[in-house]
Structure 1
């Protein structure tokens, strides 16, 4: 792609997971896992991205009053973040140094990204509609790794950062009260939870279960490197 551009910057703009303005996948974790894969797989080839669009309040088409109607936006009509918004939030906090990963799977993809004081293992479990997908247990081993100070996990799936599910449990009201908006916004939030890993002989190891169309981000906090090569205390 960069060769075809002949040195010009390449931008991936006005893209979405579907061209259908009423696609229920836009409101579900499916979109989060799909978009995260697209971003990370195209990152080496482009200078930037332009997801289309930011909100379901969309002037090129009428929009219904139903809070989750499959619109194009990262946010719904009430400004409630969808799972895909939270996927971009996770991506935003990744570092910029991709580490090599060994291993292939039909639906699971893994990226390992380093920042100055942390390493994040970013995992997705995704397949196209009408393709087989099940929960997968993924065994991760990070070799030649420093001992982590702590580990946390953030998830996006059917049970995490999924306000549409909460809305359905409310009975799918067409018009929301302020209290319901606040409840759905709370249901959309990423939750950082402590996560157990093992460390031995320079290897960090852990297992993580990935439901269908899920994202998990496991972050290992590292000891800060001492300045000027001095010894850590």
Structure 2
């Protein structure tokens, strides 16, 4: 059945999907590959904020205690922090600050997480921790201007409901939040501070208790945050992991959960930020590299803005070392980009979203139709992606009647189509066909970048009664972007394409 797309917009397209994106640890931004990857992402997608771990970890060198005249003092050093933030702002993206992990010489214990050993214990001196928070936030305000830093959300810690990220339990996190939030507001009352940055799988009681604590103690809070992943238990293999996946709708359910859980509390109505989301929570799950992944996440990007004020893809590139240094260009990393700026299919899902108009004309289980202010109509369509292992659909068809102009408009439209699928724009498949080389030479890297480009096609579509009928036949796990632009024919009267070779009558 052909879907008649309405002429009048039904809503504005939310840009919650581009509010923020994840990175690895904070200091990775000092690396060349990270910089080049972020520059590419910002040119072609354009995120507004970037969030990562380790702002206060030892590698950034902020917390520098020393002894003098028999007393302990602390120098707060910003050599690396300034370089990273300067780079972000140069590339048109601002920090979404995560306050963690604990500097080792302020930590109350030696428990750590990740290959790079982020300390996950509470501070042994709350006053010194508060002074550190005030110093960092105050320095940023002084260097970049308080008006700008007021627009940078500040999140207290990362996934404190998991023992792997916070060793001391919920009550200790509540105390950390209290000390930290008050320290932030001592710098400036209009700075945005929030939490609790929960990992999926928590019981309602966790966030409800947090809300009760914040309300009882009359603590500042400007937003609520949590994470969302849809993968099951890990099936480990050397240098990788496999996992089952829930339907993509499970991510949307997680996006919306905090508003349901916080209804009737003092936190109801606050902005909701999903500060990490992806399918798998593992940085070595090959599903992240596939065409399936783009089709799987398409309905999440299209619909997530109805449920949250932002949802931040974890992460923008594979310069990432939580489980160690990657050993191959495709290793299941979280990134939209593999190393050496190789674009994965999910990268193109984001570039396609960036090309959509702001006026929503129609939205369905397999498509989104928008219109730009200049009259162009854009269609994002995707083939079904079944995480249950069903046979991929080849030939799934989206049939649309698209409005172009008024009901009496006749003529034609220029239709430009870009697609990624199992057979197009899929560098992971090309790498597999190369024999999965561990360290491709420059010739093969160039071939992978070429294989990563979407398939492109174009044609002229007739417009009758102000409508253009299109049939989008989608290949396996295809995500496609179709742009239709009304044609203003400027062909001179003497031109004839039939005479290109100089044959025929004048």
Deviation of 1:163 (Å): 0.8
- Which residue does 1:155 correspond to in 2? 419
Instruction: Mark the CA change 1:132 to 1:182 in structure 2 (over 3 Å): closer, same or farther.
Output: closer
Pick from 348, 353, 361: which aligns with 1:99?
Answer: 361
State the TM-score, normalizing by the size of structure 2.
0.40
- Which residue does 1:66 correspond to in 2? 328
List runs of 5+ in structure 1 lacking aligned partners.
225-233
Matched, 1:169 2:433: yes
- Which residue does 1:116 correspond to in 2? 373
Deviation of 1:59 (Å): 2.5
- Work out which of the two has the higher radius of gyration on C-alpha atoms and give 1 or 2: 2
User: For residues 70-95 of structure 1, what are the alpha-carbon distances to aligned partners after superposition, in whole Å with 9 as ceiling and x for unaligned?
Assistant: 11111112321111111111111111
Q: Is the 8 A contact 1:55 1:73 kept in 2?
A: yes
User: For residues 54-74 of structure 1, what are the alpha-carbon distances to aligned partners after superposition, in whole Å with 9 as ceiling and x for unaligned?
Assistant: 222213211432221211111
Q: Is the 8 A contact 2:356 2:379 kept in 1?
A: no
- Which residue does 1:128 correspond to in 2? 386
Q: Is the 8 A contact 1:96 1:113 kept in 2?
A: yes
Counterparts of 1:49 and 1:192 in 2: how far apart (Å)? 29
- Which residue does 1:212 correspond to in 2? 476
Instruction: Mark the CA change 1:148 to 1:12 in structure 2 (over 3 Å): closer, same or farther.
Output: farther
Deviation of 1:100 (Å): 2.8
Deviation of 1:196 (Å): 4.7
Counterparts of 2:307 and 2:447 in 1: how far apart (Å)? 39
Counterparts of 2:431 and 2:391 in 1: how far apart (Å)? 27
Counterparts of 1:65 and 1:213 in 2: how far apart (Å)? 27
Q: Is the 8 A contact 2:366 2:398 kept in 1?
A: no
Counterparts of 2:355 and 2:473 in 1: how far apart (Å)? 22
List runs of 5+ in structure 2 lacking aligned partners.
1-255, 406-410, 489-506
After superposition, where does 1:10-49 map in structure 2 within 5 Å? 10-49=272-311
- Which residue does 2:352 correspond to in 1? 90
Deviation of 1:182 (Å): 1.7
3-state DSSP class of the match of 2:316? coil
3-state DSSP class of the match of 1:158? coil
State the TM-score, normalizing by the size of structure 1.
0.83
Instruction: Mark the CA change 1:140 to 1:7 in structure 2 (over 3 Å): closer, same or farther.
Output: same
Instruction: Mark the CA change 1:223 to 1:211 in structure 2 (over 3 Å): closer, same or farther.
Output: closer
Count residues with an aligned counterpart.
218
Instruction: Mark the CA change 1:134 to 1:84 in structure 2 (over 3 Å): closer, same or farther.
Output: same
Deviation of 1:16 (Å): 0.6
Counterparts of 2:433 and 2:321 in 1: how far apart (Å)? 30
Please report the RMSD computed on the Cα atoms of aligned residues, expressed in angstroms. 2.3
User: For residues 166-192 of structure 1, what are the alpha-carbon distances to aligned partners after superposition, in whole Å with 9 as ceiling and x for unaligned?
Assistant: 212222211111222122112112344
User: For residues 4-37 of structure 1, what are the alpha-carbon distances to aligned partners after superposition, in whole Å with 9 as ceiling and x for unaligned?
Assistant: 5643222222111112332221111111112221
Q: Which has the higher contact order (CA 8 A, sep 6+)?
A: 1
More helix by share: 2
3-state DSSP class of the match of 1:197? strand
Instruction: Mark the CA change 1:131 to 1:44 in structure 2 (over 3 Å): closer, same or farther.
Output: same
Q: Is the 8 A contact 2:358 2:372 kept in 1?
A: yes
Instruction: Mark the CA change 1:196 to 1:18 in structure 2 (over 3 Å): closer, same or farther.
Output: farther
Counterparts of 2:459 and 2:286 in 1: how far apart (Å)? 32
Instruction: Mark the CA change 1:139 to 1:189 in structure 2 (over 3 Å): closer, same or farther.
Output: same
3-state DSSP class of the match of 2:296? helix
